[in-house]
Chains A and B, each alone.
Chain A
Amino acid sequence: SQQGEEDPQALSIQEGENATMNCSYKTSINNLQWYRQNSGRGLVHLILIRSNEREKHSGRLRVTLDTSKKSSSLLITASRAADTASYFCATLGNNAGNMLTFGGGTRLMVKP
């Protein structure tokens, strides 16, 4: 079963606009990670936020984490056509031996 669920499932915006994707999860976590997947390629790590952190930035990416609501959001500012991809959140549980559990992803299309 999937731990995380992304919302929306698909998002289409114009270049220059901001894109926001949300992730909800069910059980307590050690950390939450966001990955990008270009069509037909492997996943690329974007950002990791630990359970005791509330916000992290990396370039045009901003991630927030609300452990009380068991949710996270990924904001991409000033989007570019090259940002077109699927974005996945993945959670790592607190138990020893836990591995990443992925959500179903958000397909982002940025129109030039």
Chain B
Amino acid sequence: NAGVTQTPKFQVLKTGQSMTLQCAQDMNHEYMSWYRQDPGMGLRLIHYSVGAGITDQGEVPNGYNVSRSTTEDFPLRLLSAAPSQTSVYFCASSYFGDTEAFFGQGTRLTVV
């Protein structure tokens, strides 16, 4: 099993550009989520999904969109990148909401 796979690992964007961060899991987990991690801080929840076709906002959703058309994939879209979105992004999945979460290796995004 590959677990949770994120692509790309690194990305540089210009202000105003859009892009999609990919996340895929092969563990048949229902729950998937996106977090961002800024220096010296913990992870903050952006969006999450409790199953295919269901998404909801987390703590810091502005500027991001998600969709969940399949159980395996949960892409995160940046609509119009801003320097404040420079961060490391982590995707996570879990079988149920109250079980351990598995994390991808992260995407380091720089917006210039």
Contact = CB atoms under 8 A, between A and B. Distances in A.
Interface of A: 1-2, 4, 30-31, 33, 35, 40-45, 48, 88, 90, 92, 97-105
Given A1-B59, A42-B106, A104 B101 contact: no
A43 B100 CA distance: 11
A40 B17 CA distance: 25
Contacts of A99: 31, 33, 45, 48, 58, 97
A92 B98 contact: yes
B101 A100 contact: yes
Contacts of B59: 1, 101
9 contacts: A33-B101, A35-B103, A41-B106, A42-B4, A45-B102, A48-B100, A97-B50, A99-B45, A102-B35
B43 interface: yes
Contact of B90 (A1, A30, A43, A98): A43
Nearest to A102: B42
Contact of A31 (B50, B58, B92, B98): B98
B22 interface: no
Given A42-B104, A97-B56, A30 B42 contact: no
A97 to B, nearest CB: 6
Interface in B43-63: 43-45, 48, 50, 56, 58-59
B99 to A, nearest CB: 7
